[in-house]
């Protein structure tokens, strides 16, 4: 495990070396069996970074031997202030982070693997991003156009416009973007930036819709962005206040117990695989119109549950779920259109995932 220190003073020194002008800090390391061990048995290295409040940073972790996961912590805290898995090229990690006012100082970059088995060499870097252009002030509705003159996200080069909209704590808002020229994405950022507090792509056709109730009042930032790097054209946006939700019902008519069939197993390298993902299959008979709840809990890997026809196990699943259960676990409600034998598949989201699991199918 290696630890490195980066600060604005290093950035100034780096200007003397043109090859590193865009890279205030860079380093390399290797995940091994002797490294520290975190959640779900993942090995990790820690690098010390010194970041300034209000300054925007780009933190990247790249690896070929494993799927890297980057997490940024304040020293002594249990939850990361930012984390990313696949925002960089391929499976690489990329974090954009701006320390809030009063939040400058030491941070810890934790480099780990998406799966507990990940081992191998990696490189990491932290660079100062240029200030974002100021968002346009908005009263909550308007129109615009995405073109090559707009600002672009540095990871994928997608152009975007931004609007500052006032949202009040405790109220509900519906944010919509409509365009017939390109596939649009809406992202909503808190006044202090950081990661989006809400985002959406295709809720209504190719147009995004966000429902959001802020906990704090402030000028939030709506980013309208093209889904693809070559997307461009006109759009309309609207931020509209919605009526408060009615209180949830507290009465019930009866209580019912669920009977489960429980299957336990372990994904291992000896199991069959498709696209590098190992799986176990379980044969279950469905009656026509029968609805069953399926829950999959796993240790050591991110599980996915899939439903296949028994005679079409190599085809696309009829239904699947990744994180519908607790944490990364899966939960799926499936209703069979026709009576017959079906296969419930336990598979890993990532390649070479392995570990124990419990599969439950309601009767």
CATH of the domain at 59: 2.60.120.380
In a domain, 1, yes or no: no
Report the share of the chain in percent with pLDDT over 90.
53
Structural domain boundaries, residue 278: 260-362
**Closest-CA residue to 126 (of 43, 10, 250):** 10
Same domain, 265 and 237: no
Residue bearing the bigger pLDDT, 246 or 68? 68
In a domain, 14, yes or no: yes
* Domain boundary, last residue among 128, 145, 175: 128
Same domain, 118 and 141: no
In a domain, 92, yes or no: yes
pLDDT one-digit tens code per residue, 147-185? 988 887 766 678 899 999 999 998 989 999 999 999 999
pLDDT one-digit tens code per residue, 81-120? 989 998 888 899 998 888 888 888 899 999 999 999 999 9
Same domain, 52 and 150: no
Cβ-contact 329, 267 below 8 angstroms: no
Over residues 318-346, the mean pLDDT reads 92
pLDDT band (50, 70, 90) for residue 256: confident
What are residue 257's phi and psi, to 5 degrees? -100, 145
**Closest-CA residue to 229 (of 273, 193, 175, 182):** 182
Q: How far apart are CA 265 and CA 359, in angstroms?
A: 8
Same domain, 13 and 124: yes
Cβ-contact 72, 126 below 8 angstroms: no
> Terminal CA-to-CA distance of the chain, rounded, Å?
50
Q: What is the DSSP string of 260-293?
A: EEEEEEEE-TTS-EETTEEEEEEEEEE-TT-EEE
Same domain, 84 and 149: no
The contacts of residue 318 (CB under 8 Å, 6+ apart) are: 307, 308, 309, 334, 342
* Structure letter (DSSP) for residue 135: P
Q: pLDDT value at position 362? A: 92
* Whether pLDDT at 20 is above 60: no
In a domain, 3, yes or no: no
In a domain, 13, yes or no: yes
Report the share of the chain in percent with pLDDT over 70.
91
Starting from the edge strand earliest in sequence, which strands make up the sheet with 277-286, in order? Answer: 273-274, 277-286, 340-348, 303-309, 319-321
Q: How many helices (H) and strands (E) does the chain have?
A: 1, 28
Q: Indicate the average pLDDT of the chain.
A: 85
Q: How far apart are CA 330 and CA 324, in angstroms?
A: 5
Q: How far apart are CA 135 and CA 166, in angstroms?
A: 12
* Domain boundary, last residue among 128, 162, 183: 128
* Structure letter (DSSP) for residue 20: G
Calculate the alpha carbon distances from 275 to 342, 347, 348, 357 in Å: 22, 11, 11, 20
Residue 213: how many CB atoms within 10 A of its CB? 15
In a domain, 209, yes or no: yes
Number of independent structural domains in the chain: 3
Q: Give CB contacts under 8 A, 24+ apart, made by 72-78.
A: 72/97, 72/107, 72/108, 72/109, 72/110, 73/107, 73/108, 73/110, 74/106, 74/107, 74/108, 75/106, 75/107, 75/108
Same domain, 158 and 113: no
Same domain, 108 and 14: yes
Same domain, 277 and 350: yes
Q: pLDDT value at position 252? A: 67
Side-chain-side CA neighbours of 201 within 13 Å: the count stands at: 4
In a domain, 122, yes or no: yes
* Domain boundary, last residue among 214, 242, 270: 242
Q: How far apart are CA 45 and CA 26, in angstroms?
A: 14
3-state secondary structure of 231: coil
Same domain, 218 and 306: no
Same domain, 119 and 141: no
In a domain, 248, yes or no: no
Q: What share of the chain is helix, strand, coil (3-state, %, to 5)?
A: 5, 50, 45
Same domain, 49 and 146: no
Q: pTM for the full model?
A: 0.48
Which residues is 296 bridged to in the sheet? Answer: 330, 359
* Whether pLDDT at 141 is above 60: yes
Q: pLDDT value at position 155? A: 62
Over residues 204-233, the mean pLDDT reads 90
* Whether pLDDT at 11 is above 60: no
Residue bearing the bigger pLDDT, 157 or 288? 288
Same domain, 152 and 72: no
Over residues 246-267, the mean pLDDT reads 82
């Amino acid at each position: 495990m290696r630890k490195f220190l980066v600060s604005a003073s290093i950035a100034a020194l780096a200007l003397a070396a043109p090859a590193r002008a865009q890279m205030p800090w860079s380093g390399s390391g290797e995940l091994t069996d002797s490294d520290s061990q975190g959640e779900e048995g993942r090995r990790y290295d820690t690098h010390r970074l010194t970041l300034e409040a209000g300054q925007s940073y780009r933190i990247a972790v790249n690896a070929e031997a494993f799927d890297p996961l980057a997490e940024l912590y304040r020293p002594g805290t249990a939850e990361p202030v930012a984390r990313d898995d696949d925002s960089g090229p391929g499976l690489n990690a990329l974090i954009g982070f701006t320390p809030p006012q009063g939040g400058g100082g030491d941070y810890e970059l934790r480099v780990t693997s998406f799966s507990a088995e990940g081992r191998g060499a990696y490189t990491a870097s932290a660079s100062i991003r240029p200030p974002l252009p100021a968002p346009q002030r908005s009263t909550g509705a308007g129109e615009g156009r995405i073109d090559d003159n707009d600002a672009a996200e540095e990871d994928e080069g997608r152009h975007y416009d931004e609007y500052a909209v006032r949202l009040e704590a405790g109220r509900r808002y519906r944010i919509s973007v409509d365009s017939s020229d390109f596939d649009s994405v809406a992202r909503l950022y808190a006044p202090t930036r950081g990661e989006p507090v809400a985002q959406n792509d295709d809720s209504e056709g190719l147009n995004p819709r966000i429902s959001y109730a802020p906990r704090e009042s402030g000028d939030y930032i709506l980013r309208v962005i093209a889904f693809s790097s070559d997307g461009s054209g006109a759009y309309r946006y609207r931020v509209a206040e919605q009526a408060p939700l009615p209180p949830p019902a507290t009465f019930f008519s009866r209580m019912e117990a669920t009977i489960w069939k429980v299957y336990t197993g372990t994904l291992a390298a000896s199991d069959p695989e498709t696209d590098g993902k190992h799986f176990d299959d379980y044969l279950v008979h469905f009656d026509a119109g029968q609805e069953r709840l399926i829950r999959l809990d796993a240790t050591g890997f991110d599980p996915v549950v899939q439903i296949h026809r028994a005679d079409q196990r190599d085809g696309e699943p009829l239904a699947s779920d990744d994180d519908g259960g607790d944490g990364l676990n899966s939960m799926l409600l499936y209703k069979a259109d026709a009576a017959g034998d079906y296969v419930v598949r336990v598979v890993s989201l990532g390649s070479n995932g392995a570990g124990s699991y419990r599969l439950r199918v309601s009767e």
